[in-house]
């Protein structure tokens, strides 16, 4: 998901035209609001900002079960949401999947999502989907502070994420501010504590932290002793541990809990585009990935994200999601535009 933005935009626009022409002739017999999925062989297009390997597993299982083909266009959260907004009602996308909620909220605020079928929403607990019903959660990830256990004793860890802006943490922690992951965390802070408190924290962050490109890189820096701690999502640690563990052997994840902003659980989203000409198939795909089979793929896979739907437990290696004591945040209210404005003002972007 690291294509240059100009190159991605160009490719997307060319592909958009091609897909648009294809759609005109391939699915004429299927009404956009048909209650039945299209016949096998008709396909849908997914704009995917989720883990590529996870989405491929979902797609392979869905196509095997239904016969519906799926074409994927890969990008990151912000690139894909901006592309959809730019394309508007002419978007060739049928489904949009993300890693974080703010990109979903951006597309929703542009009025481009159809309502999600009630049967799908009923599979997902209310705390893992927006109050509006315009999209739904498909997975989740928890904010953690990974720290060097050889440098920091547990009693010296910050009680709150907000403490990282205090002078005693100057030069001791890292983050990847340019990524959608970190911006989602700041979005939650903005919703929970308001603009003034967020501005103040970002100002302290600018004074205290070290910038790295990517959460994995930030964690590696902690592991190598370059910095004492890093604010990232949990699955980077568990994913590395499941492989060789070479980038996390000196690292321990710390969960803030207590409804702290640093205990934010970011909901990965899925939604059906209002412009979809294959709405029934698109809704079927969303229902599949939030259903038992789709969530078991998530549980048993290598992404180490949390399963959140159809009463499927998450990977046994993870701290149970109920023990995270996450703050309550309506994903529909996360404001990516305001966050990037505040982060730019603070000199972080």
Residue 218: pLDDT over 90: yes
Question: What pLDDT is stored for residue 30 in this prediction?
Answer: 30
Average pLDDT of span 179-198: 96
Q: CA 64, 68, 71: angle at the middle one, nearest 5?
A: 105
Question: What pLDDT is stored for residue 22 in this prediction?
Answer: 35
**In the chain, pLDDT over 90 holds for what percent of residues?**
87
Residue 5: pLDDT over 70: no
Residue 318: pLDDT over 60: yes
Q: What is the largest CA-CA distance in the chain?
A: 66
The end-to-end CA distance of the chain, in Å, is 19
Question: What pLDDT is stored for residue 336 in this prediction?
Answer: 85
Average pLDDT of span 173-191: 96
Residue 23: pLDDT over 70: no
Average pLDDT of span 188-206: 98
Q: How confident is the model at residue 321 (pLDDT cuts 50, 70, 90)?
A: very high
| pLDDT (tens digit per residue) in 25-71 | 333 323 333 334 444 447 999 999 999 999 999 999 999 999 999 99
| pLDDT (tens digit per residue) in 245-290 | 999 999 999 999 999 999 999 999 999 999 999 999 999 999 999 9
Q: What are phi and psi of 24, to 5 degrees?
A: -60, -35
Question: What pLDDT is stored for residue 204 in this prediction?
Answer: 98
Which residues lie across from 146 on neighbouring strands? 230, 253
Tokens found for residue 113: 């999502």
Question: For the range 346-349, what are the long-range contacts, defined as Cβ-Cβ under 8 Å and sequence gap of 24 or more?
Answer: 346/199, 346/202, 346/203, 346/205, 346/206, 347/206, 348/177, 348/202, 348/205, 348/206, 348/211, 349/177, 349/178
């Amino acid at each position: 998901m690291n294509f240059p933005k100009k190159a991605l935009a160009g490719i997307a626009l060319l592909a958009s035209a091609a897909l648009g022409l294809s759609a005109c002739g391939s699915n004429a017999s299927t009404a956009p609001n048909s209650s039945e999925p299209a016949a096998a062989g008709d396909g849908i297009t997914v704009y995917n900002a989720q883990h590529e390997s996870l989405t491929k597993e979902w797609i392979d299982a869905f196509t095997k079960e239904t016969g519906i083909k799926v074409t994927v266009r890969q990008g990151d959260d912000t690139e894909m949401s901006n592309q959809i907004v730019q394309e508007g009602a002419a978007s060739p996308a049928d489904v949009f999947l993300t890693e974080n909620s703010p990109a979903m909220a951006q597309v929703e605020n542009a009025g481009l999502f159809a309502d999600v079928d009630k049967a799908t929403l009923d599979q997902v607990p209310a705390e893992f989907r927006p109050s509006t019903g315009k999209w739904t959660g498909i997975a989740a990830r928890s904010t953690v502070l990974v720290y060097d256990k050889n440098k920091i004793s547990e009693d010296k860890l910050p009680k709150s994420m907000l403490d990282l802006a205090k002078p005693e943490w100057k030069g001791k922690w890292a983050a990847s501010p340019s990524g959608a992951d970190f911006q989602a965390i700041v979005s939650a802070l903005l919703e929970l504590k308001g603009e003034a408190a967020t501005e103040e924290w970002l100002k302290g962050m600018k004074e205290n932290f070290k910038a790295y490109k990517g959460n994995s890189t930030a964690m590696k820096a902690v592991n190598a002793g370059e910095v004492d701690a890093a604010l990232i999502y949990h699955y980077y640690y568990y994913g590395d541990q499941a492989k060789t563990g070479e980038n996390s052997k000196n690292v321990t994840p710390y969960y803030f809990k207590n409804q702290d902003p640093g205990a934010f659980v970011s909901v990965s989203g899925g939604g059906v585009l209002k412009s979809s000409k294959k709405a029934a198939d698109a809704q079927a795909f969303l229902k599949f990935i939030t259903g038992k089979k789709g969530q078991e793929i998530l549980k048993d896979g290598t992404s180490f994200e949390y399963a959140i739907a159809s009463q499927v437990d998450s990977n046994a290696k993870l701290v149970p999601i109920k023990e995270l004591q996450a703050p309550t945040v309506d994903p529909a209210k996360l404001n990516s535009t305001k966050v990037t404005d505040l982060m730019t003002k603070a000199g972080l972007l």
